[in-house]
Chains A and B, each alone.
Chain A
Amino acid sequence: MTDEGVNWEAIFFRDGANGTEPDGLGLSPPDVDLTRVWTGVAAEVWRRRPGPAERLAARALRSPGLARALVTTPSLLLGWVIATLLVLAAGAAATLGTGTPYVALLAPAVAGAGIAYAYGPGIDPAWELSQSTAVSDRMVLLVRALAVFGLNAAVGLAASGVSGLSGVSGSAATVTFGWLVPMTAVCALALAAATVSRSANVGVAAGMSGWVITVLAGQADGGRLTAAITDSSLFLPYLAFAACCGAVAWFATRIPRGTS
């Protein structure tokens, strides 16, 4: 009963959620449950085909639910990604024109905003509903934050490479990769602020203001705008700060034990 690869018998006579097999003698028309038939047809017609990114994520994460949550991240949607590309492209152009590493200065702030808008109440419309599902919302947050961080790091590195970094003060390697460390700290700060306050806007404000203050403090102290990304003595404090913020975010997203 197959026709052009479609097993209509399977669609029409497959049983429902209880998983029982239909009686082979019961395939005559009077025994056909039209509701079940229609549900089978509708399931085939309405079935959504996951895109390549979602299929890859489902395999990597071993969870179709987590993969679906990942591809619906607000700050990974096309509009946001295009905006990120435009900002960093403008930074690359400005770097080429002035010699100041604007890409390195912009990337942490852009990534911090993306992380704050990855997941949470007010950002995810069905956040409360998501909290009641088997896939842990903490895991969703972690996967989304890592994906946003990875994308921003990759775009930032590409923009750094394009800008060529000619004439930039400091070693090329430090300027090209050095901002990844402060970016980690800014992202962690934005994540912690967003999860504690339950507001993405607060997360963005905390991340951006923290980074602006750090850059301006570096300039005031050493007279260089790039001190915040080229001073290697700051890397350890950045990482320690990122670890503390990560711990705060982890604590803020816990569900307290001991309900009994």
Chain B
Amino acid sequence: MNIELSELTRRFGRTYAVAGVSMEAGPGVFGLLGPNGAGKTSLLRMMATVLPPTSGRLRLLGRDPGSPGPRREIRRRLGYLPQNLGYYPGFTVVEFVEYFALLKDMPPGRVPRAVAAAVEQVGLGDKAKAKLRTLSGGMLRRAGIAQAIVNDPDLLLLDEPTAGLDPEQRVAFRAILRGLGERATVVVSTHLVEDVGAACSQVALMDAGKVVFDGTPGELIARGEGSGAAGDAPLERGYSAVLAAARSVPATRPAAGIQPGPENRA
């Protein structure tokens, strides 16, 4: 398993952003769905080794990121696209991607070819030498995706990767995701259920810091059938039905309703 989480929590003051999540994921594309404030970004940041957990057990690529040596090894094999991607306005696309390739400890001899491949893969070849400050939001997002995949990661974490992409780019991006998921574990946090339906083999739905559904997109669709839940598409109805069911359960203390129970596990 590339991701092993057990009773993972993250607290900011008295607020639980992640309230005891347990999950495992091997190769494949894993969708993380949920409303705003559900805890998706905090969970992703912990998996990116940027945010330490408050409690619980986290193992990535078979290693404990709490120790410096294993953490460095994880980071070499990690690709991460944060929700708010910062960029250097004076860098070109190639310089930006190359910068992170070097920070990921890639052998310098491999970097130019890996950078070219990543830039081409996200369709920014014609903007390779353009300064980042001249690019549109969608192009910057693609530059961010290019830096995430430049090291051919075994664990790829993408927070709202399709935000700002036009429909054509989103379709192309889903194809990239499916290709990467054949070998690596790809975790995609998104609001867009159609991205999950098109690209993900597994999906978890988070609400109030907890995983309230864990299954396949087909199983999420099945939850919505005949439920009368709101939504234009089958996946949206499943999403609404699971959320409505989770919210109808009386609140328990944060660490209690952690792992998806048998009633929520598809």
Q: Are B114 and A17 in contact (CB under 8 A)?
A: yes
Bound together, the chains give a CA A72 to CA B90 distance in angstroms of 10
B120 is an interface residue with CB less than 8 A from chain A:
yes
Determine the chain B residues whose CB is within 8 A of the CB of A129 once the complex forms: 80, 82, 85-86, 100, 147
- Residues in B45-96 with C-beta less than 8 Å from chain A: 48-50, 52-53, 56-59, 64-68, 71-73, 75-76, 78, 80, 82, 84-89, 94-95
Chain A 57-89 per-residue mask, 1 if CB under 8 angstroms from chain B, else 0: 000000111001100100000000000000000
Q: Are B87 and A131 in contact (CB under 8 A)?
A: no
Offer 26 A-B interface pairs, CB within 8 angstroms, sorted by A: A17-B117, A17-B152, A39-B113, A39-B116, A39-B120, A43-B116, A46-B94, A46-B115, A46-B129, A48-B95, A48-B98, A64-B102, A65-B102, A65-B105, A68-B99, A69-B103, A125-B87, A129-B86, A134-B75, A134-B103, A135-B103, A256-B66, A258-B66, A259-B65, A260-B57, A260-B64
Bound together, the chains give a CA A62 to CA B38 distance in angstroms of 43
14 more A-B residue pairs beyond the given contacts A126-B88, A258-B66, with a C-beta to C-beta distance below 8 A: A42-B116, A42-B120, A43-B117, A46-B128, A48-B98, A69-B103, A126-B87, A126-B100, A128-B86, A129-B86, A133-B103, A257-B67, A260-B58, A260-B66
- Residues in A162-204 with C-beta less than 8 Å from chain B: none
Bound together, the chains give a CA A68 to CA B57 distance in angstroms of 34
Chain B 94-136 per-residue mask, 1 if CB under 8 angstroms from chain A, else 0: 1100111011110010101111110110000100110000000
By a beta-carbon cutoff of 8 Å, the part of chain B in contact with chain A is: 48-50, 52-53, 56-59, 64-68, 71-73, 75-76, 78, 80, 82, 84-89, 94-95, 98-100, 102-105, 108, 110, 112-117, 119-120, 125, 128-129, 147, 152
**Contacts known (A259-B52, A259-B65); A38 close to B112, Cβ less than 8 A:** no
Q: Are B52 and A42 in contact (CB under 8 A)?
A: no
Bound together, the chains give a CA A136 to CA B71 distance in angstroms of 10
Complex: chain A residue closest to B114, CB-CB: A17
A4 is an interface residue with CB less than 8 A from chain B:
no
CB < 8 Å neighbour of B128 from A40, A42, A69: A42
Q: Are A132 and B117 in contact (CB under 8 A)?
A: no
A127 is an interface residue with CB less than 8 A from chain B:
yes
Complex: chain B residue closest to A122, CB-CB: B86
Bound together, the chains give a CA A132 to CA B89 distance in angstroms of 20
CB < 8 Å neighbour of B104 from A48, A65, A72, A255: A65
Determine the chain A residues whose CB is within 8 A of the CB of B104 once the complex forms: 65, 133-135
CB < 8 Å neighbour of B103 from A16, A48, A130: A130
CB < 8 Å neighbour of B52 from A43, A44, A134, A256: A256
**What's the minimum C-beta distance from B172 to chain A, rounded to whole angstroms?**
14
Determine the chain B residues whose CB is within 8 A of the CB of A255 once the complex forms: 49, 52, 71
Determine the chain A residues whose CB is within 8 A of the CB of B125 once the complex forms: 42
Complex: chain A residue closest to B105, CB-CB: A134
Q: Are A126 and B57 in contact (CB under 8 A)?
A: no
Bound together, the chains give a CA A5 to CA B104 distance in angstroms of 31
Q: Are A16 and B95 in contact (CB under 8 A)?
A: no
CB < 8 Å neighbour of A134 from B58, B66, B76, B85: B76
Complex: chain A residue closest to B93, CB-CB: A46
Determine the chain B residues whose CB is within 8 A of the CB of A65 once the complex forms: 102-105
Bound together, the chains give a CA A214 to CA B55 distance in angstroms of 44
**What's the minimum C-beta distance from B41 to chain A, rounded to whole angstroms?**
11
